[in-house]
């Protein structure tokens, strides 16, 4: 077991926050992981580091999940079942699928992070969520060291939510995810306004999965900061769902408020719009800021601490509560 000491985690989290791991180990196989959890109970898991805000040094043993590999389980004329190990980079997997002409995840192009964490927050973009293609999740039960299978329904997926954020939080380590993808007849999802527009601009009327992926990449690159250039964790908050009564009140004052009705009683409103209306878009407080093109994304310009970013997030939450009477829920995991 090669445990290293006092390792900077700056390169291991997309926010680029400089904190240290007292003890750190990179793990390349399930067997190795089983050996470690048998010995060490106080562990902290690090995968792609794309959905966390680190606010202090980590005293627990940091396990960097590095288990790689993709295998095809079975296929027929129309579909293919693929199992991907947790440490594979998500976007590399999307590109690989497209190169094989496997469809279903093209709308999820360029989402930062690794495959192993995609089920936890049920990543989603442009009308598709990863729950639409996951057939099974395999996870190691920390207490027993045994591998356990979760079917799609076992995962209890919801909007940026799953069982791994709730009942079984901290009890399992996801080691691989299985997907069911299409081979020939792809079910393209191009109804999201921004995709339609991008395809039109490219004069594409009969898009392939590669065309859709390219369109999504272009849209994301135009709005969302590249973590390699400016530290960030994607959407920092969830889009809030509010009662229709409150929405009606708000619409009187803000007639252009964007909205997505969920039911007769509930409306989802974009947090990015609320934050922009509150005047935070593009604002900078030291090295912590709100992205200039998408107000839902908080950024680390260079040397912000996790505490500074968290302070900004709380300031935004208070302002949105005062101005709109809405509670903004943080989507990113705050490590305190």
The answer to whether the beta carbons of residues 79 and 182 sit under 8 Å apart is: yes
Residue placing its CB nearer to ligand EPU in the complex, 24 or 273: 273
Residue with smallest beta-carbon separation from ligand EPU: 234
> Where do contacts with ligand EPU occur on this chain (CB under 6 A)?
125-126, 223-224, 234-235, 238-239, 258, 270, 272-273, 276, 281, 294-296, 331
How does strand 172-182 pair with strand 134-141? Answer: antiparallel
CB of 237 to ligand EPU, least distance (A): 7
Give the strands of the sheet with 266-268, arranged side by side: 241-243, 266-268, 260-261
- Tokens representing 127? 């009308």
Catalytic residue among 106, 160, 213, 220: 160
The answer to whether the beta carbons of residues 111 and 234 sit under 8 Å apart is: yes
Residue placing its CB nearer to ligand EPU in the complex, 272 or 289: 272
- Tokens representing 330? 């943080």
- Tokens representing 161? 């939510």
- Tokens representing 18? 């400089």
**Measured between alpha carbons, how far is 222 from 282 in angstroms, rounded to an integer?**
15
Identify the three-state secondary structure at position 39.
Answer: helix
Q: CA torsion 311→312→313→319, rounded to 10°? A: 110
Known catalytic residue at 284: no
Q: What is the DSSP string of 228-280?
A: TTSEEEEESBPPPEEEHHHHHHHHHH-TT---EE-SSSEEE--HHHHHHHTT-
CB of 64 to ligand EPU, least distance (A): 22
Catalytic residue among 47, 97, 178, 235: 235
CB of 51 to ligand EPU, least distance (A): 8
Residue placing its CB nearer to ligand EPU in the complex, 12 or 273: 273
Residue placing its CB nearer to ligand EPU in the complex, 142 or 230: 230
Residue placing its CB nearer to ligand EPU in the complex, 64 or 281: 281
Known catalytic residue at 253: no
- Tokens representing 116? 């192993």
**Measured between alpha carbons, how far is 181 from 1 in angstroms, rounded to an integer?**
37
CB of 192 to ligand EPU, least distance (A): 6
Residue placing its CB nearer to ligand EPU in the complex, 82 or 295: 295
Known catalytic residue at 331: yes
**Measured between alpha carbons, how far is 213 from 307 in angstroms, rounded to an integer?**
35
Catalytic sites, residue numbers: 160, 235, 331
């Amino acid at each position: 077991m090669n445990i290293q000491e006092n390792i900077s985690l700056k390169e291991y989290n997309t926010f680029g926050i400089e904190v240290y791991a007292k003890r750190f180990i990179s793990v390349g196989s399930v067997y190795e992981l089983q050996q470690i959890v048998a010995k060490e109970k106080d562990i902290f898991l690090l995968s792609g580091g794309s959905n966390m805000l680190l606010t202090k040094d980590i005293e627990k043993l940091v396990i960097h999940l590095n288990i790689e590999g993709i295998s095809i389980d079975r296929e027929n004329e129309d579909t293919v079942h693929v199992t991907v190990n947790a440490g594979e980079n998500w976007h590399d997997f999307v590109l690989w699928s497209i190169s094989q002409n496997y469809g279903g995840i093209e709308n999820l192009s360029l989402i930062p992070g690794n495959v192993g964490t995609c089920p936890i927050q049920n990543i989603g973009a442009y009308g598709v969520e990863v729950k639409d293609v996951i057939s099974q999740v395999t996870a190691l039960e920390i207490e027993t060291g045994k591998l356990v299978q979760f079917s799609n329904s076992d995962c209890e997926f919801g909007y940026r939510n799953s069982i791994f954020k709730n009942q079984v939080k901290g009890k399992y380590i996801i080691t691989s995810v299985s997907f069911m993808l299409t081979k020939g007849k792809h079910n393209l999802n191009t109804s999201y306004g921004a995709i339609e527009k991008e395809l039109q601009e490219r004069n594409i009327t009969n898009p392939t999965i590669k065309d859709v992926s390219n369109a999504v990449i272009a849209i994301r690159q135009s709005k969302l900061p590249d973590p390699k250039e400016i530290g960030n964790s994607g959407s920092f908050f969830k889009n809030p769902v509010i009662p229709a009564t409150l929405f009606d009140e708000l619409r009187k004052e803000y007639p252009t408020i964007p909205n997505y009705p969920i039911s007769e009683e509930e409306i989802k409103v974009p947090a990015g719009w609320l934050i922009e209306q509150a005047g935070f878009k593009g604002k900078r407080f030291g090295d912590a800021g709100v992205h200039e093109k998408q107000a839902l994304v908080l950024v680390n310009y260079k040397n912000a601490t996790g505490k500074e970013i968290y302070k900004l997030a709380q300031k935004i939450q208070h302002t949105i509560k005062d101005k709109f009477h809405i509670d903004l829920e943080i989507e990113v995991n705050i490590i305190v």
